[in-house]
Amino acid sequence: MAENKKMLRALAGEVLDVPPIWMMRQAGRYLPEYRATREQAGDFLSLCYNSDLAAEVTLQPIRRYGFDAAILFADILLVPQALGADLWFVTGEGPRLSTITTQAEFDALKPAADIHETLSPIYETLRILTGALPADTTLIGFAGAPWTVATYMIAGRGTPDQGPAHALKDQNRTVFDALMARITEATIDYLSMQIEAGAEVVKIFDSWAGSLKGDDFEKYAVAPCRQITAALKARHPSIPVIGFPREAGEAYVGFARATGVDCVALDNSVDPVWAAANVQVDGCVQGNLASSHMVTGGQALVDDTRAILRAFAGGPHIFNLGHGITPDADPDNVQRMIDTVRKG
């Protein structure tokens, strides 16, 4: 029941004495049990598509730490793969994709409606988790935002400045807009199926939103998020949506009103006192401890955690990092953060 789940209460606007807590990438390489399961799977993509093992790694941080929410173990680039792009991972370097930069390459993509056969194991992972999670743990589904997904599909990999995507946007707006529309449609269907499979909250990760400036931020970060959120709420009226336009800076202000999301996740480049005054006034916020504290630990971790708790104490807040936890993090520092949030 929702009243037993602190995460859902915060997303509904309730101010709690102790905020719910989870971490982006909480199932990951910093945990020895994750590394063992990934070795069992063989490789990262095989782990994503093995429903039993993906559910296992989703559950591992819940067993170890008792987080208030579990986030589906998957990857934002499964949608491009389901649309027909080639996807593989290079050890130590990250993802690689076949590129979409021409009309012919775009035309070779599948329709959005045809993604579900490829993604069916992801939905099965969610179904497993609905029966395996503790009764007070919220299940989060997610997808990449269209702009962020498009940057990978256009460049074929991650880039420091998203330059190839900006170039296509400026030089061939027809193909760029068609790609954005296809990703947006697929994302709506993908998240809707996640909800039907058991996700109680969905999060839209726009990891590269910060490289969009001015009107481009409105067109390619705000508008797609608004379209996805509206479509999901039309199909699933009670579903909460978290938006994460990472490194949006001043553009965090008004993002919830402009998109309809129930919560805005904040990166750690923004000051929590400023964010409380300018972003939390519109509803729930999530964040925003620097993930580096999970590596370095010490009193600075405790002090910054307490400062964030103080800053956001006057409104609905979900405690999280400002970015995903990194593989070199110390699991003991995670526990110290949790203890600080829950025990002061």
Catalytic residue from among 9, 25, 182, 246? 25
Catalytic residue from among 75, 189, 206, 267? 75
Strands 263-265 and 284-289 turn out to be parallel
The yes-or-no answer on residue 29 being catalytic is: yes
The yes-or-no answer on residue 25 being catalytic is: yes
The yes-or-no answer on residue 226 being catalytic is: no
Catalytic residue from among 29, 35, 157, 226? 29
Retrieve residue 168's tokens. 């296509």
Phi, psi of 215 (to 5 degrees): -60, -30
Q: What is the DSSP string of 264-277?
A: EE--TTS-HHHHHH
Catalytic residue from among 34, 123, 152, 190? 152
Listed residue (168, 184, 199) closest to 115, CA to CA: 184
Catalytic residue from among 38, 157, 226, 235? 38
The yes-or-no answer on residue 252 being catalytic is: no
Retrieve residue 325's tokens. 């936890």
Which amino acid is residue 163, in one-letter code?
G
| Residue 296: count of CB within 10 angstroms of its CB | 12
The yes-or-no answer on residue 96 being catalytic is: no
Distance CA 137, CA 198 (A): 12
Q: Sheet containing 263-265: which strands, arranged edge to edge? A: 69-71, 138-144, 201-206, 241-245, 263-265, 284-289, 317-321
Strands 241-245 and 263-265 turn out to be parallel
Residues marked active site are found at 25, 29, 38, 75, 152
